[in-house]
Amino acid sequence: MVRPRAQAAHGRSFGTQARVYNEVRPGYPDSALDLALTGWEPQWSGLRVCDLGGGTGILTRRLLARGADLIAVDPDTAALERNPAPTKIGTAEDTGLEAESLDLVTVAQAWHWFDEAKAAAEVARILRPGGRLLILINQLDVRVDWVLRLSRIMHAGDVYRPQYRPQPGNGLALTDRRLVEFTTELTVDGIVDLARTRSYWLRSNEKTRARIEANLREYFSVEHPVSGTVDLPYMCLAYLLERV
């Protein structure tokens, strides 16, 4: 088990691979983003949004393109250097943002790095009454046998399954959810780069990294041969919560 302090430290290390992260990590499907506005009068244009754990800006760019008035918050300064939005150094547990100043908080690929109860209390504090939290989690679709094997070689650590439901409490209640299946096209080199963006790789020594890369290349040359590119299956788990 990773201790909370060590877990937080791992969550701040992705900036070291910021360029690669942007190139090989998948974006988020439109239907997953659209969950944020389900049954809601506000539209994206002018919506006051915090992309919490915004990092290099994979989700941030999509939200800016939709017209959101957005600030990205993250403790990783190296990652934020690539984020196109106004940024603020902060954590999910202490954003430094004003109380009741936001319509929507988005958390993409970062919820598992937070202290859930403390983060929920902070999100509830900075949301206006009736404001929303959208949690997005892209997972390798390990329901597919060859992807399950791949994830084990990579030590991918994709721990959430479709049955998962966030229940943080502290003023936030789950109101809707959605599972969206999609694929992203990568070469074998791209999949090796994908492994380089994983927390297991980032905290491993060079010997372990070399072994992972060798195992990946052998897998795609022998067990699951690939010529050119492969469509890598993912599922996006989307959860909508509301400040109550």
In whole angstroms, what is the distance from residue 181 CA to residue 194 CA?
19
Domains in the chain and their CATH numbers?
4-140+157-184+233-243 (3.40.50.150)
Percent of all residues in the chain with a pLDDT value above 70, rounded to a whole number: 91
Q: What is the mean pLDDT of residues 52-65?
A: 96
Write down the pLDDT at residue 200. 85
Sign, Cα dihedral of 7, 12, 84, 123: positive
pLDDT at 157: 66
pLDDT of residue 112: 87
Angle between helices 188-196 and 145-154 (to 10 degrees): 50
> Which residue in 108, 107, 139, 103 sits closest to 120, CA to CA?
107
High-pLDDT (> 90) share of the chain, %: 77
Q: Of 152 and 4, which is predicted with more confidence?
A: 152
- H-helix or E-strand containing 2? none
pLDDT for residue 168 is more than 80: yes
**pLDDT given for residue 2 in this prediction:** 37
Strands (E), the chain: 48-52, 69-74, 87-89, 102-108, 127-140, 172-187, 229-243
Asked whether residue 164 carries a pLDDT value surpassing 90, the answer given is: no
Per-residue model confidence (pLDDT) at position 158: 63
Strand order in the sheet with 102-108: 87-89, 69-74, 48-52, 102-108, 127-140, 229-243, 172-187
pLDDT value at residue 25: 86
What's the pLDDT score for residue 159? 64
- pLDDT (mean) for 217-227: 94
Which pLDDT score, from 0 to 100, does residue 14 have? Answer: 47
Cβ distance 88 to 143 under 8 Å? no
Other CB atoms closer than 10 Å to residue 162's CB: what's the count?
Answer: 12
Measured CA angle at 166 (ends 67, 191), to 5 deg:
70
Q: Which amino acid is at 193?
A: D
Report pTM.
Answer: 0.88
Residue at 23: amino acid letter: E
Q: Find the radius of gyration of the CA atoms of the chain.
A: 18
Please check the confidence at residue 101 and state whether its pLDDT lies above 90: yes
Query: What is the pLDDT, as a whole number, of residue 4?
Result: 43
Read off the pLDDT of each residue in 185-200 and give the average, rounded to a whole number.
92
CA–CA gap between residue 191 and residue 150 (Å, rounded): 10
Does the pLDDT of residue 47 top 90, yes or no? yes
